[in-house]
Amino acid sequence: NAGVTQTPKFRVLKTGQSMTLLCAQDMNHEYMYWYRQDPGMGLRLIHYSVGEGTTAKGEVPDGYNVSRLKKQNFLLGLESAAPSQTSVYFCASSYSLYGYTFGSGTRLTVV
Amino acid sequence: GIQVEQSPPDLILQEGANSTLRCNFSDSVNNLQWFHQNPWGQLINLFYIPSGTKQNGRLSATTVATERYSLLYISSSQTTDSGVYFCAWKWAGNMLTFGGGTRLMVKP
């Protein structure tokens, strides 16, 4: 049982490049989330999904897009990367108020 | 939205010492969680504690929602307790708003 798997774990992008971060969960959770964590700060919600085919904006959605075509996968896209998007990105999934599972994170640097 | 503030921001302990971490909210909440982020970045659920007190081994948590705070107690600290402790308010659809965290270092 892998839980929540994020790929890639590390990535360096040049300003203006695009990329997609993949999150996969094998727990049959309905809810999935993307957070970003900047140095010395707590996590901030980028986008989330309450079920297959649904997405919604969180606190800091600008510059990101998401898709949830399959229940087990939640993709985060950066169309034109900017240095301000340098951060650690965490995916999470949950089934209830109690069951919150995080992936191990993706460290993204935009130069 | 509700603001979440944690104190102290940094804490250094000698192994075996006890500590109390605090989480204050700008308004009353009925859904609160505590997380531990280990030095390798992994986030682990500690407690879902909307009110009252819960204990798990050397850790316990208390939330007084009407007074807008929650406390996390760590007893007999160990080096493996090092990392960052976050409290988070859970709102509609299980979304989380995090505090800034308390960075704990336990020295052997």
Please state the rounded mean pLDDT for residues A82-97: 91
Question: Does the CB of A60 have a partner CB in chain B at under 8 Å?
Answer: no
Q: Give yes or no for B32 touching A (CB within 8 A).
A: no
Question: Measured between CB atoms, which of A42, A44, A97 is closest to B48?
Answer: A97
| Residue A61 touches chain B, beta carbons under 8 Å | no
Q: Which residues contact A102 (CB under 8 A, 6 or more apart)?
A: A4, A90, A91, A92, B42, B43, B44
pLDDT in tens, B36-64: 999 999 999 999 898 999 999 999 999 99
Tens-place pLDDT, residues A8-46: 999 999 999 999 999 999 999 999 999 999 988 889 999
Q: Do B100 and A40 touch (CB under 8 A)?
A: yes
- Locate A25 and state its tokens: 């969960």
> In sequence order, which residues have a C-beta less than 8 Å from that of residue A40 and are 6 or more positions away?
B100, B101
Name the residue facing B31 among A33, A44, A97 (closest C-beta).
A97
Nearest to B47 by CA among B32, B37, B58, B57: B32
